[in-house]
Structure formats: structure tokens, C-alpha cells
Amino acid sequence: MDDLLEEFIAETRETLELLSGQLVQWEKEPDDRALVDSVFRFVHTVKGSCGFLDLPRLLRLSHAAEDLLSSARDGLVSPTTDLVTAVLAVIDRIADLTNALESGQSVYDNDAELIDAMLAFVPKGDNDSYSVSIDPSEAVKQMADIDLEMADGMVGNPKNRSVRVSLQLLDKLMNGVSDMVLARNEVSRQLRKSHINSDLDHSFSRLSSSVAEMRDAVGLMRMQHIDRLFSSLPRLLRDICQELGKDIDLHIEGSEVEVDREMVEALRDPLAHILRNAADHGIESVNERRAVGKSPTGLIKITARQSGNQIMIEIADDGRGIDLEKLATKAISSKLISAPQWQKMAEKAQLATIFMPGLSTAESISSISGRGVGMDVVKTNLQAVGGTIDLENHVGQGLKMTLRLPLTLSIIAGLSVKAGDQIFGISRSSVIEILSTSNKNVVIEEVGGTNIACIRGIRMPYAGRGYCSGLEMVSAEKKIAAH
């Protein structure tokens, strides 16, 4: 029973955010029968599991939601804003109770009020016979076949057999493989220094290939579709729009891109802050948009793609962009920068001041923004995982933010550089090229008693043997901490 409960908690938590996103989509596309069918199947499966696991509160909530969704499938109910809000409130309560099952805490809120508010949208007569009945054997079957119930992709592919592994065990396995990779690299260096026969070289090549395959397989175990991160954004934007009184469409592309699971968790807060700022500061009010000839409905577009060993996420809106004069006034009045300093800064550096702690362009403090901590959190969290953020500003047309992130945080291909007695690790993604001083494109010049390397006409600092006792570059794979 404990195993079944753990499975129920894990499956329910994984699909709740996606379910909220589908409800928001259903609100925008009321004629899409596939959406309401998908939501109905999830609620139906939860209800069956709750009956078998003796979870009466979750059973009542899911059964009530099933009644409403059944009426929607029959064409008796249309997804108005108020109706979707009522259903989302029930979904939120299911999430709270699911978390309480794991933590052992209690949720004392009144479920009856949520159920009554939701069932008020069901035509009179359809909810008069509200009752709870469940076949325990059917509930067991539903839990065993949960992938088949979610054949539309909400949970997983029923053709793929899978097993749940604790994150602690997965991390332990990854650490072991990482150490194995480092040990292989060290053995490789030692073998290159000695004279080895062909048999030993062949055996080591087989071992190295096996280690590489194991590393790649374990790395794939940590990967998740970035849709796990994006699935909560439609609901978040809907709540923001209701509070601000704005109408904003959200378009998401690249949900199939895969990233390290730790990257997903690290990006949750930054992406939420960016979305709030785009909706609050970027997208104008309906009247402002009409006045400048824009559509009353704003647009925020999020695109994810993989470029080499990096993940790129672009968040673009069609709002007002960043007013640099207003930004300068705020930065100077907040004493974060002086007027002379501002005048000397390039436009890119001026835009980057939005990441300064304590800076906010909001006219007043609200529950969405105004305290000057949002963009600071974005930059701090991205730097913590080795990421960067670039801004592309179009005044009156919108702002685009591009997040560049490493593909994984576990094993990163790198270059080890030995200078004197110290060894430095450099991420391979940061290495443009490696040149020898014997290369015809490299000329060592002496300027003012200092050596300068002239590479294709571009002068760069050069540290020769006079500055370090030899320089050794060895291609390697190093474990690099997130910080």
C-alpha cells in the first residue's frame, strides 16, 4: 500500500501543472473536444486511485470535478472564465492535499465551498444525484494502466517500460560515473607518457568506449523535456492577466527540447519572474495598445532550442520595450549609479542595469512586481548554473531576452590547463580554438618589454615560459560545480 501511495503522489504531482495548462487552453479553445477529454481522463483516474487508497477528500474533489467535466463533454457546460477559475481552485486543492500526503501535514480548508462553487455551473438536475461509488478492482487496474489512460502524452508513452528511481540513488550513480570518467582520463594521460603495446592500447580503447557509453546513458536518465518547466506558465500568465486586467496570448515552441532535471528546477523562478515582468511592465494596457495601433491582445512568445552543447530560451513580447530615459531616472534616483557614469555607458550596459538589486521601474508596489528583486533573482539564478542572459530592446515594439544555459550540470566537457603547479579547468564551450606558437597565424611580438601574441592581426596578452614553467593543455572531461 505504501508503494501504491508513493506512486500515486508522484504521478499526480507530475501531471497537475500540465493539467492546469490544458484547462487554460480549453478556456481559449472551448470547441476542442480533445482537451476536455484529456482533462476528464486524468480526473477520472485520480478518482479511481483515491477510492482504492481510502483518500475520501481527494475522492470527493475529483468526483465533483468529474461531474462537471462530464457535463462539458456532453455539451451542457461551456468553459467560461469563472468556470475555469472554479475548476482550477479544485485542482489547486488536490495539489495541496497531495503534498500533505507526503509531508504528513493537514489541510483544514473547507472543500465543500470549492465543490459547490464548481458544481454551480452544472445545469440543475445533473448534480442533484451527487454520490460517490467506486469499484476497487477497477481502481487497481487504472493505477496499473495509468500510462494507457494518459495516451495523449500527459504522463508518458505506454510503449516504453519504465521504473521509478529515487533522485538520491540517481545522483549517487552519476557521481560514480563522473569519478570513473576522471579516472579514465588520468589513466589515459599516464599511458601516453609510457610506451605501451598494441594489446594494452586496444584494451584501454574498449574500456574507454564502455565508460563513455555508460556516461551518456546515465546522462540521458537525468534529462527531462523542458515542457515540464513550461507547463505551469499558461496558468501563471492567466492569473497575472486577471489581476492586471490585460489580455495576453502565450505561444510556446520547443517543448520537446531535453535538459538536465536540475536545470528545470533552477529555471523555474527566473522564468516566472521574466513572465511577470513582461506582462506587467512590457505589455501595455488595452487602451494604450489601441492608441498606438496594436492589437488589444498582447503576445509573449517563448522558444527553446538546443544549439551545440547549450540550451537557448528566448522570451519575446510585443510590448513597449525598455524606456532607457525612464530606466536612467530610476537608477540615478535610487543612487545605484551616477549621471556621469550613465552617460559613459554603452546601450547594452545601460540595459543590463535592470539586473541591479533594488532597481524597479514600477510606479507602485503590487503582488506582481515593484520591489526591485525580480530581475536580480533572474541573473543570480542563471549565473549559479553557468548561464547568461542577453537583452534585445526595440522601443515601442517589445523586448527579447535570450537565456543561454549549459546542456547539463553533471559532466561538462572541459580543457585542463597546467601553469606552473596549478591546474585550471575551462569549459570546452568557452574555448574558441587552441593554437600553437608555431602556427603561421600566431606571431609573438615584444611591446614595451612585454610579450604580445598577434593572432591574425589581433593583439592579445601572452604568457610565455618566462611567466610559467611550461604550459600543458590536455583535453579532458571535468566535473564542474554549479557555482
Name the superfamily (CATH) of residues 2-149: HPT domain (1.20.120.160)
Query: In this model, does residue 137 exceed pLDDT 70?
Result: no
Torsion angles phi and psi, residue 288, rounded to 5: -65, -40
Q: Is pLDDT above 80 for 219?
A: no
Return the SS3 of 475.
strand
Question: CB atoms < 10 A from the CB of 353, how many?
Answer: 21
pLDDT tens per residue, range 38-54: 888 878 777 777 766 77
**Residue 19 pLDDT > 60:** yes
Which of 199-208, 246-255, 332-341, 433-442 is predicted with the least confidence, judged by mean pLDDT?
Answer: 433-442
- Please say whether the structural domain 224-406 has been given the CATH code 3.30.565.10: yes
CB 170 within 8 A of CB 222: yes
The pTM score is: 0.67
Containing 251, the helix (H) or strand (E) segment is: strand 248-253
What average pLDDT does the structure give for the chain?
77
Residue range 214-237: mean pLDDT, rounded: 84
Please state the domain extents for the chain.
2-149, 167-222, 224-406, 412-478
| 167-222 carries CATH number 2.60.40 | no
DSSP string, 269-330: HHHHHHHHHIIIIISPPHHHHHHTT--SSEEEEEEEEEETTEEEEEEEE-S----HHHHHHH
What average pLDDT does range 219-225 have in this prediction? 80
Q: pLDDT confidence of 133, banded at 50, 70, 90? A: very low
Query: What gap in Å lies between CA 250 and CA 299, rounded to an integer?
Result: 6
pLDDT the model gives residue 481: 28
Give the CA radius of gyration of the chain: 28
Residue 427 bridge partners (DSSP): 414
Q: At residue 214, does pLDDT exceed 90?
A: no
The whole-number pLDDT of residue 317 equals: 94
Lowest mean pLDDT among 129-133, 179-183, 282-286, 406-410: 129-133
Instruction: Assess whether pLDDT exceeds 80 at residue 196.
Output: no
pLDDT digits (tens, 9 = 90+) for 294-322: 999 999 999 999 887 788 999 999 999 98
Q: How far apart are CA 265 and CA 267, in angstroms?
A: 5
Helix (H) or strand (E) holding 375: helix 374-384
Can you give the pLDDT at residue 362?
A: 56
| Strand intervals (E) in 357-449 | 388-394, 398-406, 412-419, 422-427, 442-447
Three-state SS at 461: strand
* pLDDT tens, position by position, 62-90: 888 888 888 888 888 888 888 889 888 88
User: d(Cα 359, Cα 337) in Å, to the nearest integer?
Assistant: 11
